Amino acid sequence: MSGIAGIMIRDGGNPANLLRVQWMLDRMRHRAPDGSSFWHGDLMALGHAWFNTTGDTGCGPHWLGGDQCAIVADCRLDNREDLLGQLNSGVTDICDAGIILACYDRWGEDCLDRLSGDFSFAIWDRRKQACFLARDHFGVKPLYYHLSAARFLFASEIMPILSAAGAGGSANLTHIAGFLAGHAVDNDSTAYAEIRRLPAGHKAWISSDRFELARYWSLGVEACPANRDLTEEFRHLFTDAVRQRMRGHSPIGVMLSGGLDSSSITAVAGDICGERGNPDLSSFSMIYEEASGMDERAFIDAVLQQNQQIESYFIPNSDHGSFPSFDELLSQQEEPFLAPGLARTSAVYRNAGDNAVRVLLDGHGGDEVVSHGFGRLHELAANGCWLALWRELRGLRYLFGDSALSSFRSFFAAYGPLWRVERIGVNSGRLRRFLMQGAGTGDAHSWQNYINPDFARQTDLGERVRHRKQVPQDVRTSEQLLHRWNITNGFSEHAFEVLDKVAARSGVEARYPFWDKRLVEFCVSLPSDLKLKNGWSRLLLRRAMEGVLPRSVQWRRDKTDFKRHLIAGMLGHDRDLIDNVLGSDGDRIAPYVHLQGVKAAYQRILNDPDDAMMEDAQAVWRSVCLSTWLRQIEIQEIAA
């Protein structure tokens, strides 16, 4: 987890502005515990804020080819040894950024087809008088930029660009509308009109008169070949993904919540340390009071009992507030974010950093990558496999409870004979409405109830949400296509950016074994009955962890619902803040939110906190988040 920055002078630009790269590095001092450096020529300046987590030597920029090409990178390669073999240069003592630069020198921009890992980088090619940028396949490493006729700036964070560009901090209304609706309406905007993000899996060329942005990789959908031991193959890929992310400084840390994902990573990492004869592994767990309904200590202890070489740290969740130190947290995030539980993650990351951990393994994304397989329910319904569907719904009664019959009626109404009748143009609305009674299809808590309708129309929010969130029919009826859609819908790269900024301020680099490119492609290719069968979701992961995890964790069905934590914080610690945002400070957000709708949501929470809807809680939380951010940029504008 380093930081990179750069400035290019384009037509009419002032070369003296290249020295502002020092300002950019200064704004990222928290990313540079091991130093920073910069270089500038006549048209280009590059800066590197160095946090050494892989054991590399030397701070960037790095040069190659008689000073013809230079790179700054925040990177960690999964296939480092393979690339060194392909380059066949005989040089092995080279940092990952140097390997990427050597690959570019050999294969040009096609080098991206060979890279696997987490990276964002910029290469200045003096021969072409152009800059080449790229971001990894899933967007684990962030990269933002500002483009004008006179200059191009990029960095790992937003504020360094704003400070160096002298650009105003005006809000991007379309992005704000998407945030309030809880959807990533696009992959390249930020909350600032002047700043954009390089999307995951994209590359860009920039010169004095050229800016070209293109996708270099898309997640494909291929059927998994038959006659293979898929459980063993998953175990091999997952173990190697964990191993690759353990490269670097000891001690290695791992987040352990007691859930299936973090427990699997912890157990596999423990086995790897045992193989190496190096027990230097530490776990970090947030723990809750037993009466809170969120206590996972029994599952955490079961994993640690089986891996006694792990040094464990426990972080008591003593502050139930949803907005503890929220001004500081939002300032670090630089823009509104869709993560009400971020304070908990931040506490765990800080504890790891305080205990000399530089590399922290995180189970984020396991749900998306492995998939619960719920698309299989749509597959079965669309193919008329009603008995099999009923069996799955009954097996999932820990999720659906007494509403399994209601869920079945929903599927039957959507895919049963009426669906086929309607496809030939016959109206069967009355019978459909009967079948849908009690099926949970109302939209009383839809985003429309919380957003100012004029603002929604102004930003064309309805159409954008339909385009981004509404799953196409052909995707909905294929677990494989739905699996891919859930991975690539834009939420993941937003989450990575949020987590990266928390990690940077905590002095750790978070790494995510589930987001190994080979593992993701493998999981998407799997048949749906290896993701969900007989009510067991994420089946292949459970099978692969046989003998690795305690059975109480391997086959646990439940998952902690942190909604009550959010609600408890709102009512127990944050009442004054919320009352001010929705009351005396309401004019600040009134142009954006439907203030009366959000107040009604808050009142419903107050009236019945035990049965509060998550949509209501999210609406209140986003309103507070937006109000705080708007106040912060007002202060920034006054200071400027």
Q: What is the DSSP annotation of 501-552? A: HHHHHHT-EEE-GGG-HHHHHHHHHS-GGGTEETTEESHHHHHHTTTTS-HH
Let me know: does 221 contact 145? Beta carbons within 8 Å: no
Of these ranges, 194-203, 247-256, 423-432, 441-450, the one predicted with the greatest mean pLDDT is 194-203
Let me know: does 418 contact 432? Beta carbons within 8 Å: yes
Q: What's the pLDDT tens digit per position in 500-556?
A: 999 999 999 999 999 999 999 999 999 999 999 999 999 999 999 999 999 999 999
Interval 240-246 mean pLDDT: 97
Burial string for 283-304 (b: 16+ CB within 10 Å, else e) reads bbbbbbeeeeebbbeebbebbb
Of these ranges, 5-19, 233-247, 607-621, the one predicted with the greatest mean pLDDT is 233-247
Distance CA 499, CA 519 (A): 21
Per DSSP, what are the bridge partners of residue 189?
A: 196
Task: Name the residue ranges covered by the structural domains of the chain.
Answer: 3-158+195-215, 230-363+490-554
Q: Assign domain 3-158+195-215 to its CATH architecture.
A: 4-Layer Sandwich (3.60)
Three-state secondary structure call for residue 337: coil
Helices (H) and strands (E) in the chain, counts: 30, 19
Supply the pTM of this predicted model.
0.93
Strand segments (E) across 95-158: 117-125, 130-135, 144-147, 151-155
> 137 is written with which tokens?
């396949």
Strands, sheet with 36-40, edge to edge from the N-terminal-most edge strand: 36-40, 44-49, 3-9, 151-155, 144-147, 196-197
- Say whether pLDDT at 445 is over 80: no
**Residue 224 pLDDT level (bands cut at 50, 70, 90):** confident
> 265 is written with which tokens?
């990573």
Burial string for 459-472 (b: 16+ CB within 10 Å, else e) reads bebbebbeebeeee
Distance CA 543, CA 554 (A): 8
Average pLDDT, the chain: 89
Residue 394 CA: distances (Å) to CA of 286, 377, 397: 33, 12, 5
DSSP 225: P
> 75 is written with which tokens?
């990177």
Interval 212-218 mean pLDDT: 97
> 447 is written with which tokens?
């985003």
What DSSP assignment string belongs to 34-61?
A: T-EEEEE-SSEEEEEE----S---S-S-
Q: Which of 160, 165, 162, 185 is nearest to 175 (CA)?
A: 185
Residue 573 CA: distances (Å) to CA of 323, 361, 566, 630: 8, 31, 11, 22
pLDDT value, residue 29:
96
pLDDT value, residue 442:
42
Q: Which of 202, 199, 204, 198 is nearest to 216 (CA)?
A: 202
pLDDT value, residue 424:
44
> 570 is written with which tokens?
């709102």
Let me know: does 71 contact 62? Beta carbons within 8 Å: yes
Q: Which of 188, 323, 315 is nearest to 257 (CA)?
A: 315
Distance CA 466, CA 76 (A): 36
Q: What's the pLDDT tens digit per position in 164-213?
A: 987 667 899 999 999 999 877 688 999 999 999 999 999 999 999 999 99
Let me know: does 133 contact 154? Beta carbons within 8 Å: yes
* Helix or strand holding residue 584 (H, E): none
Per DSSP, what are the bridge partners of residue 151?
A: 9
Q: What's the pLDDT tens digit per position in 56-95?
A: 777 888 998 678 999 999 999 999 999 999 998 877 789 9
Q: Which of 155, 154, 189, 166 is nearest to 8 (CA)?
A: 154
- Express the helix, strand and coil content of the chain in percent, nearest 5 each: 50, 15, 35
Give me the helices (H) in 321-460, please. Answer: 326-333, 342-354, 366-370, 375-382, 386-395, 397-400, 404-415, 417-423, 429-435, 453-458
Interval 231-250 mean pLDDT: 94
Query: Hey, what amino acid is at 466?
Result: R
> 5 is written with which tokens?
């920055």
Distance CA 141, CA 160 (A): 16
pLDDT value, residue 441:
41
- Say whether pLDDT at 324 is over 70: no
> 192 is written with which tokens?
């600032």
pLDDT value, residue 521:
96
Distance CA 445, CA 267 (A): 40
Length of the chain (residues): 640
**Fold exhibited by the domain 230-363+490-554:** Rossmann fold (3.40.50)
Interacting residues of 170 by C-beta distance below 8 A, sequence separation 6+: 192, 193, 194
Residue 333 falls in which region: left (phi positive, over 0), alpha (psi -120 to 50) or beta:
alpha
Interacting residues of 496 by C-beta distance below 8 A, sequence separation 6+: 138, 139, 140, 141, 142, 512
Distance CA 632, CA 535 (A): 47
Interacting residues of 158 by C-beta distance below 8 A, sequence separation 6+: 144, 190, 192, 195, 334, 335
**Residue 323 pLDDT level (bands cut at 50, 70, 90):** low
Sign of the CA dihedral 138, 140, 146, 152? negative
Distance CA 14, CA 333 (A): 30
